[in-house]
Amino acid sequence: MTKTVALLVGGWSSEREVSLMKGKHVEAALKEGGYDVRVIDVTRDLQKLAKDLSPRPDVVFNNLYGRGGEDGTIQGVLDMMGIPYTHSGVAASAVGMDKTLTKKLAQSVGVRVSPGKIASKADILAERVMERPYVVKPINEGSSVGVRIILEGENQAPIDEASWTFGEQALVEKYVPGREIHVAVLDGKALGVTEIIVKGRFFDYEAKYVSDTTELITPAPVPDIVAKTAMEFAKNTYDVLGCEGIARCDLRYDDSKPGADGVYLLEINTMPGLSPGSIAVIQPEHNGMDYVQLCSHLVETARCHLPAQEDRQSSSDAPAARSA
């Protein structure tokens, strides 16, 4: 019998348009894989979502990005509804979205991270947090939204007050010079290393979704020890957070340092982009799994993260004990 898959797209985060765009590719792949696909444009209206999920699908394919979609919110809703869904569960999604918590957990299993701290917007604007060069990031946004690199000798402010909508605190971390490398992890296995070469300063929103000059090189032309370390860091981070399905770790490689001493984890993305040409698609393809097979695999390994609850009598329904 054909499985029914509810594909969640849209959402209400700053990455809504990304979700809608990439969702079209996922929809086509799932249909090619033989699934009956029902596309649901998700909003904050839970009653509408519950109605859209009736009749109940066999699986939900989560294609929501940013707040609400990859921070444990939609995962919790689906767990409560008892519907299997793709990617990580509530806890891993929530921690993975919080860059500071991710780095603390990663450090606990031997992963090197760039030094950083949470600071108030006022302290950041006054440049009282750390010496340049450094990077300012929203604590829990994706797709490099709101990220700004502050180098020595520049006049730009650490935060653009006119466009900053990410709260009164942010993460400030030491800038790691060198090269950007990413590792996809599927079901606990690191798949390879991809180097990203951009014309701008870093792999920002425009480089990811607008520019046609960004280069992705797989496998990355780095020493074997660097590739091995990057893959170990990615797997260890995935495992310690309790991730499932596909995830992607973003790292920096300072090639001025010896051996693998220049490899640093920046963050993990528990909901990496899944359209043709994305790193989380390229690396499985490099390992022999094409796009349709990848999307189908995520459906077939989807699960509800709450254990099945047996019907139990509540204490109020239990018969009163007889007195002796």
- State the binding site for Mg(2+): 250, 267, 269
CB 86 within 8 A of CB 302: yes
CB-based contacts of 174, cutoff 8 Å, min separation 6: 114, 115, 116, 130, 133, 134, 135
Q: Which two tokens mark 96?
A: 């993975």
In whole angstroms, what separates CA 318 from the centre of its chain?
46
15 as an active site residue: the answer is: yes
54 as an active site residue: the answer is: no
Annotated binding site: 250, 267, 269
Q: DSSP of 65-119, one letter per residue?
A: -STTTSSSHHHHHHHHHT--BSS--HHHHHHHH-HHHHHHHHHHTT--B--EEEE
Q: Choose, from 15, 27, 141, 180, the residue flagged as catalytic.
A: 15
SS3 181: strand
Alpha helices in the chain (DSSP H): 16-32, 46-52, 73-81, 90-97, 99-108, 121-125, 205-209, 224-241, 279-286, 291-300
* Strand bridging mode 36-42 / 4-10: parallel
Q: How many CB atoms lie within 10 A of CB 242?
A: 16
Q: Which two tokens mark 78?
A: 């689906």
Q: Choose, from 13, 14, 93, 278, the residue flagged as catalytic.
A: 278
In whole angstroms, what separates CA 158 from the centre of its chain?
25
CB-based contacts of 141, cutoff 8 Å, min separation 6: 14, 66, 67, 166
Q: Choose, from 143, 144, 275, 296, the residue flagged as catalytic.
A: 143
SS3 38: strand
Question: How many Å apart are CA 274 and CA 292, to the nearest integer?
Answer: 11
278 as an active site residue: the answer is: yes
Q: So which residues are the catalytic ones?
A: 15, 143, 278
